[in-house]
Amino acid sequence: MRVDLFDFELPPERIALRPANPRDSARLLLVDGEGMADRMMRDLPSLLRAGDVLVFNDTRVIPAQLEGRRGDASIGATLHKRIDLRRWQAFVRNAKRLRPGERVDFGEGVTAIAEQRLDDGSFVLAFEGEEPVETLIERAGTMPLPPYIAARREIDERDAEDYQTMFAREKGAVAAPTAALHFTPSLMNMLQTVGIATETLTLHVGAGTFLPVKAEDTDAHRMHSEWGRIEAATADRLNAVRKNGGRLIAVGTTVLRLLESAADVNGVIQPFEDDTAIFIMPGYRFRAIDGLMTNFHLPRSTLFMLVGALMGRDRMQAAYAHAIADEYRFYSYGDASLLLPG
């Protein structure tokens, strides 16, 4: 499928540089079988039904952006995916100045050996010393804001809180599951009052989520992989919801991708603990979810292809055109959409 079918023009001023405050004051674009409607996040309880379940990702973002030196060369590293206890795959800035076997000093007593350059240009970094790598990262790293934000302003102390969801528990993500940034304890209480339940699973979001699709055809795109887990008891409860007539609403594309990876051909969600590199585009038959809450995505991205698969490409192009014209805020710190295919 041609990638340019998923292109659109986004004015730079539509990119949100800070989240809504309070978080549940963000706008919400409802897209369903009847059309589109401009709503607010606080309207969400009235847009769902008693018996529905919102499924959240409980991953926690780690300070995965590292700045260091190799001799006289400045080296930036964005950790992408854990390999083992001491090694991470990382995307490296100024990679031409780094060769396998060389040491990078990230300051604060944190050093790593660039063990191997992978086919996609990323490196395997092996962290030295006896301290847990998590401790080293906490000491030397900063919050890895998306490039479209980091290129326009400095990362600051507010981001350490702003870029975590209220569900963040399992450390390991290098990007936030941003759809859940809109939720607050107050909104959760409102949802519970009207009979909407919640479940959590874990998918450690990698930096590959921001990689552009450079190919002209989707067949030539290599999808990044991410590690996820669904507990057996969680899978049982989710299956029971659908059996009893409730709907599973994925809060974020990370949740959707993990649920679809875990579902069998009959739509039954199985326990899961593995990597997933699922690539969802128009023509995909959804098996595990009945709706999606998500932010507004980049043009020509795999995530815009995903929402096009769920709702139809033409409908989502029209929805995004409406959101741009009506001055919705886009991307990680932006507003949300609720997609209900019906």
CA 185 to centroid of chain Cα atoms: 21
Q: Is the Cβ–Cβ distance between 66 and 97 less than 8 Å?
A: no
CA atoms of 65 and 84, how far apart (whole Å): 18
Q: Give the domain CATH number at 164.
A: 3.40.1780.10
If asked whether residues 25 and 165 sit together in one domain, one would say yes
Let me know if residue 168 belongs to a domain. Answer: yes
Domain span at residue 23?
Answer: 3-61+160-339
What angle do helix axes 253-262 and 302-311 make, rounded to 10 degrees? 70
Q: Is the Cβ–Cβ distance between 55 and 200 less than 8 Å?
A: yes
Residue 238: closest CA among 192, 269, 195? 269
- In this prediction the pTM is 0.94
Let me know if residue 326 belongs to a domain. Answer: yes
Q: What DSSP letter does each residue of 62-125 carry, written as one string?
A: ---EEEEEETTEEEEEEEEEE-SSSEEEEEEETGGG--TT-EEE-STT-EEEEEEE-TTS-EEE
If asked whether residues 226 and 101 sit together in one domain, one would say no
If asked whether residues 24 and 97 sit together in one domain, one would say no
Q: What is the DSSP letter of 154?
A: -
If asked whether residues 282 and 324 sit together in one domain, one would say yes
Determine if the peptide bond prior to 12 is cis (ω within 30°): no
If asked whether residues 45 and 73 sit together in one domain, one would say no
If asked whether residues 87 and 208 sit together in one domain, one would say no
Please measure the distance between the N-terminal and C-terminal CA atoms of the chain and give it in whole angstroms: 25
Let me know if residue 152 belongs to a domain. Answer: no
74 SS3 class: strand
| Below-50 pLDDT ranges, the chain | none
How far, CA to CA in Å, does 186 sit from each of 25, 193, 277?
11, 11, 35
Instruction: Write down the pLDDT at residue 232.
Output: 98
CA atoms of 118 and 49, how far apart (whole Å): 47
If asked whether residues 219 and 113 sit together in one domain, one would say no
If asked whether residues 251 and 330 sit together in one domain, one would say yes
Longest dimension (CA), the chain: 63
Let me know if residue 155 belongs to a domain. Answer: no
Q: What is the count of structural domains for the chain?
A: 2
How far, CA to CA in Å, does 335 sit from each of 28, 126, 259?
6, 38, 23
Let me know if residue 316 belongs to a domain. Answer: yes
Let me know if residue 26 belongs to a domain. Answer: yes
pLDDT in tens, 210-246: 777 888 999 988 888 899 999 999 999 999 999 999 9
If asked whether residues 235 and 308 sit together in one domain, one would say yes
Domain boundary pick from 77, 106, 141? 141
Instruction: Write down the pLDDT at residue 207.
Output: 76
Q: Is the Cβ–Cβ distance between 259 and 288 less than 8 Å?
A: yes
Q: Give the domain CATH number at 93.
A: 2.40.10.240
Let me know if residue 150 belongs to a domain. Answer: no
**197-203 vs 53-57, strand pairing mode:** parallel
CA atoms of 77 and 79, how far apart (whole Å): 6
Instruction: Write down the pLDDT at residue 120.
Output: 85
Let me know if residue 154 belongs to a domain. Answer: no
Polymer length of the chain: 342
C-alpha dihedral, 79 to 26 to 313 to 201, nearest 10°? 50
If asked whether residues 107 and 171 sit together in one domain, one would say no
Domain boundary pick from 81, 106, 141? 141
If asked whether residues 320 and 197 sit together in one domain, one would say yes
If asked whether residues 174 and 237 sit together in one domain, one would say yes
